[in-house]
Amino acid sequence: MGNYSSSRPSLMEEPWRQPSHWYDRLENSIRSEIDDIKPKEKANIVFVGPIGAGKSSFINSILTVANRHKVEYAPVKKGSKSCTVKYVNYKDNIMLENFQWKDCMGIEQGEEDGFNTKDIIAVLKGHVKVGYEFNPRTPISKDDRFYRENPQYKHQAHCVVFVVDGNAIQQHMPRNFSKKIKEMQEEIRRLHIPRVLILTKADLLCKEVYKNNEVMFRSWLVKEAVKTASDIFNIPEASIHPVTNYERTYDMTWKYNIPILLALTQILHYADHKIEDDLQNSDSDSE
Ligand SMILES: Nc1nc2c(ncn2[C@@H]2O[C@H](COP(=O)(O)OP(=O)(O)OP(=O)(O)O)[C@@H](O)[C@H]2O)c(=O)[nH]1
Ligand SMILES: [Mg+2]
C-alpha cells in the first residue's frame, strides 16, 4: 500500500479539486450531460497502459456505472503477465450506445515482453481488427488476417485513454519504459487524437480514500500522484482522473460513481469534439 508514513495529515481541509458543479450537480445531472453527448459517428475509445494497471477493470467500472449494476465484461486477473492479450471491443447499448470501448494488452516494461509501440499506433490508426492476438516480440504484419490495409474513419481511435496504477506511479520507471511512452505520445500528437489519463487504485494509494472514497479530492497523496502522472505523460492535470475501480466493492454509490463519471464525461466530450472537428475539416477540404 502507498506511502502512509508522512507526519503531515493525510487530508486537506478543503478539496484540492472542486469542480464548480461538485456540490450542486449531483450524479444524475452528470448522467444527463452524458446522455446528451451524441457524436455524429460511432466513437472508438482505446485503452492503453501497463500490465495490471486496471484497464479492463476501468472498462468494467464504466459499464457498471452506465448499467447501474455490477458488470464484468472484461476479464480481470491478478499476476505479472498480461491478462488481456487480444484486442477486444465492448459495447453498451443503454447509456453509451454511441461509443465503443477497445481494450488492449498491457505494455510491459521489459524490452522483450509486453506491448509493441508499433502495435498501439496501428490500433489507433485502425489497422488492427478486433480479435487480434498481440505478440510483444513482433508487431502486427501486413499479411496478418487481422491487419486492415485501408482503415476507414470509423476504424480509427477518437480518444486514447492511458490507464496507470496510481499506487505505482511514484515508483521509478525504467528508462526504456519512459522511452516507449514518449515515442507513443509523439505519434499520438501527430495523429491529433485527444488523450485522457486514468489513475486507478486510489484506494490503495491513500488509506483515507480506502476508508471512504468520498475524500478522493481531499487527499494529498492522490493530488501528488496526479502531478507525477502529468509530468511523466506530459498530459495536463485537468485531464488526469483518479478513480477507485468497482473491484473491491459491490456497493454502488455516488462516492465511487462520481469520480468515474467525471472521467467518463471528459472522455466522451473529447471524442465527440474530435469527430466534430474532423467532419468540419473534411467538409472544408471538399469545398
Ligand atoms: N484495489 C483496487 N484494485 C484494482 C483497481 N483496479 C484494478 N484493480 C486490480 O488490479 C488487478 C489488475 O486489473 P486489470 O483490470 O486486469 O488490469 P489490466 O490493465 O487490464 O491488465 P492486463 O490486461 O494484464 O494488461 C486486478 O487484480 C484488479 O482487481 C482499483 O481501483 N482498486
Ligand atoms: Mg486487461
Closest CA to 50 of 118, 98, 106, 116: 106
Closest CA to 210 of 171, 248, 166: 248
Cα separation values, 243 from 61, 168, 200, 249, Å: 10, 14, 5, 13
Ligand 2 midpoint to CA 50 (Å):
9
pTM summary value:
0.88
- Secondary structure letter of residue 129 according to DSSP: P
Q: Regarding predicted confidence, which is higher, 86 or 274?
A: 274
The answer to whether the CB of 105 falls within 8 A of the CB of 131 is no
Ligand 1 midpoint to CA 104 (Å):
13
Q: What is the average per-residue pLDDT within 245-270?
A: 89
Please check the confidence at residue 154 and state whether its pLDDT lies above 90.
yes
Per the rule left: phi > 0, alpha: psi between -120 and 50, beta: everything else, 103 is beta
Q: What is the average per-residue pLDDT within 12-21?
A: 68
Cα separation values, 140 from 14, 88, 125, Å: 49, 15, 13
CA separation for the pair 213, 220 (Å, rounded)? 14
Report residue 14's pLDDT band, with 50, 70 and 90 as the boundaries.
Answer: confident
* Domains of the chain and CATH, by start: 46-74+83-200+232-279 (3.40.50)
Please check the confidence at residue 22 and state whether its pLDDT lies above 70.
no
Query: Can you list the positions of beta strands (E) in 214-269?
Result: 240-242
Which amino acids bring their CB within 6 angstroms of ligand 1?
49, 51-57, 76-78, 82-84, 105-106, 163, 200-201, 203-204, 244-245, 247-248
Q: What is the average per-residue pLDDT within 85-98?
A: 78
Tell me how crowded residue 64 is: count the other CB atoms within 10 A of its CB: 22
Cβ within 8 Å of residue 72, ≥6 positions away:
60
pLDDT digits 0-9 by tens, 100-125: 898 887 776 655 555 567 888 999 99
Q: What DSSP assignment string belongs to 159-188?
A: EEEEEEETTTTTSPPPHHHHHHHHHHHHHH
Cβ within 8 Å of residue 12, ≥6 positions away:
218, 219, 220
Tell me how crowded residue 174 is: count the other CB atoms within 10 A of its CB: 11
CA separation for the pair 165, 275 (Å, rounded)? 29
CA separation for the pair 79, 98 (Å, rounded)? 33
DSSP-based three-state secondary structure for 202: helix
Ligand 1 midpoint to CA 43 (Å):
24
- Secondary structure letter of residue 50 according to DSSP: B
Instruction: Please name the amino acid found at residue 284.
Output: S
Q: Any idea which ligand is nearest the CA of 245?
A: 1
Q: Which of 70, 76, 251 to mutate to test the pocket of ligand 1 (most atoms within 8 A of CB)?
A: 76
- Ranking 100-104, 143-147, 281-285 by mean pLDDT, the lowest is 281-285
The answer to whether the CB of 99 falls within 8 A of the CB of 45 is yes
Torsional sign, CA 44, 249, 4, 175 = negative
pLDDT at residue 24, as a whole number: 47
Q: Strand 99-103 relative to strand 88-91: parallel, antiparallel, unpaired? A: antiparallel
Instruction: Please name the amino acid found at residue 175.
Output: R
